[in-house]
Chain A
Amino acid sequence: MTPDRSPRRRFASGRGRVLAVFAAAVIVATAPATGFAWRALDTMSDELRTARLREAELLAAQVEYFVSAAFFDLELTAAVAATDLEAQRAPAFGDDSLPFDDSTVATLLFDEQGEVTAMRPSSFVVSDAEERRSELAAVVEAATNAVSEPFTLAEDGHVVAALGVPMYSSAGDRIGTVVGLIDLTGPVMAGFVEPAERIGATGHADLIDDRGKVLVSTNPGHMLGGGDHPKFYTEAAELRAPVVQTVPHHADPGDVDVSAQHVMAWVPLRNAPWAVALGASEQETLAPVARLRTVLVAAGLASLVVLTVGAVAAVGVRPKPTGRDGADGNESHDLPP
């Protein structure tokens, strides 16, 4: 009788059942490995995003320190000026009057009526119109330390932000405000975002205000605009919490980086209503993940190919006829030659 060699018959045979059970066992054995591999990719992706957030925190700490030092200088100036005003002495506000490091490009002393009564350096020019501009008025009238929205100085076209520290008399009456101007277009502020260019070819950073406007950028053309990620900046400014996200990238015309997505970290400051945004293209940021994925896929495919080839070989290769009608080829090699 000719044996039935159809697949159904082959499967129904003992060898087919063994192979099926074996294949299922291999799948069960490799499934956790695949899960681990998948998790490894996720973990690495999370680690890279977290690392980007920490890099942004380091940049933010430097800006925070700068703003903090500027406020500290202004508070010391206010402490001295307040006692001078109380004693009805002309406040010591000249170029050499105070032994403090000055973090601002200019310091202005406003009286309780909001008029500038002294400035440092004395050569600094501030027009009457600038004295009355709304950005300064908001700072001058604030009851506590405050930071203004950015504005452009008429004298030199520099974009500045004003930091204000109120002065109180010993009786607790408001007697004026010390205002420092920070040059947002100067090299000091630019130095805070420049390290972003070292994180990669598409690396960039912005200092953003609470309306989502760019104050300082690795791309000077973005100043006072929405930057490459206007929607993200606006939403994150309202959130005021550290976050790292993959966000759409709006490339400028002629921009070398035309990637659709960027991984951006956002870290708000405490001493000013500002935040640091740092990031690069998703492809560049997650390049290590892509490399690991390639290795894992190659390893997985190699395993699968070997298993498949082995299984096919095991099913397809039958023992040579031995002249006996052995019901199971597995037993044939036990026979004497």
Chain B
Amino acid sequence: MARFSIAALGFAALWLAVALGAQAAASTLLDGDDSVLALECGRRLPVTAPAPATPLVPVEVLLVIDDEWLAHFGSDAEREARLVATRAAGHYRNLGIHVLPTRVVTWESPDSAATLSELLDHADAADLLEGEDVALIFTAQHDDSREDGDASVGGQSAIVRHHTDHGARDEFVLAHEIGHVFGAHHGCDVPGLAGLMADRGIEQPVRLCPCTRRAIENNVERFHDT
């Protein structure tokens, strides 16, 4: 009886081990290939139901060309602004955002503005928007700072300054500032992955940090209602 009991319990334990092994094998099936897809900013994400595909969000933008930009580019000023805006907006297309320039205005920027931030404040105060969602301001004004652009997180305007001597390309600077307007902050939880939204300079400008993507996807909902 004792031998039989030991044998029976052994087989029961074996059966349990087989079942648990199968469970573990099933859980880790294909895990190696999918690990990257399941990561966000270095953290393993809980399994969630796929979200419905949000429709493309059209964001109407006003292009504001200041007198300095106009003086620098001459007759190509508007074309250059449109191309920079289109190229910058292209970075957000895969997030379901379609930036549509619907109007272009020229604006005489005040000489009293010492920084881009002040210039942006002046532009906001000028209340240039007429139903558009966002104003993109293009300037070539020089000052002692090495700022290339400015925008407030979740705001309605962004400014880019064209530098002839140094600085990143206007397209990437404006894309960075548009990211702020769309709700993104600087940096990324994963070092080296900040991409467009890097705090200083731009690392791998074609990349968007997964956290940045999430922040923008959550924030652009506000443009659905406009």
Which A residues contact B (CB, under 8 angstroms)? 18, 22, 26, 29-30, 32-37, 39-41, 43-44, 47-48, 50-51, 53-54, 64-65, 68, 71-72, 75-76, 78-80, 82-83, 86-87, 144-145, 166, 168, 170-172, 239-243, 267-271, 288, 292, 295-296, 299-300, 302-303, 306-307, 310-311, 313-314, 330
Distance in angstroms between the alpha carbons of A216 and B130 in the assembled complex: 42
* Interface residues of B, count at CB 8 A: 53
Residues of A within 8 A of B190 (CB): none
- Given A54-B37, A241-B52, A270-B96, the answer on whether A296 and B18 have CB atoms closer than 8 Å is yes
Residue in chain B with minimal CB distance to A83: B79
Residue in chain A with minimal CB distance to B63: A170
Distance in angstroms between the alpha carbons of A315 and B172 in the assembled complex: 83
The answer to whether B23 has its CB under 8 Å from any CB of chain A is yes
B12 pairs with A33, CB closer than 8 A: yes
The answer to whether B7 has its CB under 8 Å from any CB of chain A is yes
B213 → chain A closest CB, angstroms: 13
Residue from B22, B25, B102 within 8 A of A172 (CB atoms):
B102
B175 → chain A closest CB, angstroms: 13
The answer to whether B94 has its CB under 8 Å from any CB of chain A is yes
B53 pairs with A269, CB closer than 8 A: yes
Which B residues contact A (CB, under 8 angstroms)? 1, 4-5, 7-9, 11-12, 14-16, 18-20, 22-23, 25-27, 29-30, 33-34, 37, 50-56, 58, 75, 78-79, 82-83, 85-87, 89-90, 93-94, 96, 98, 100-105, 130
Distance in angstroms between the alpha carbons of A71 and B90 in the assembled complex: 9
B100 pairs with A299, CB closer than 8 A: no
Query: Which secondary structure dominates where chain B touches chain A?
Result: helix
B103 pairs with A171, CB closer than 8 A: yes
Query: Which secondary structure dominates where chain A touches chain B?
Result: helix
A68 pairs with B12, CB closer than 8 A: no
Distance in angstroms between the alpha carbons of A296 and B78 in the assembled complex: 71
B87 pairs with A40, CB closer than 8 A: no
A22 pairs with B5, CB closer than 8 A: yes
Distance in angstroms between the alpha carbons of A149 and B18 in the assembled complex: 54
B50 pairs with A243, CB closer than 8 A: yes
Distance in angstroms between the alpha carbons of A29 and B14 in the assembled complex: 11
B93 pairs with A271, CB closer than 8 A: yes
Residues of B within 8 A of A243 (CB): 50
B83 pairs with A76, CB closer than 8 A: yes
Distance in angstroms between the alpha carbons of A268 and B56 in the assembled complex: 12
Distance in angstroms between the alpha carbons of A82 and B50 in the assembled complex: 40
B19 pairs with A33, CB closer than 8 A: yes
- Given A33-B15, A82-B82, A172-B103, the answer on whether A307 and B8 have CB atoms closer than 8 Å is yes
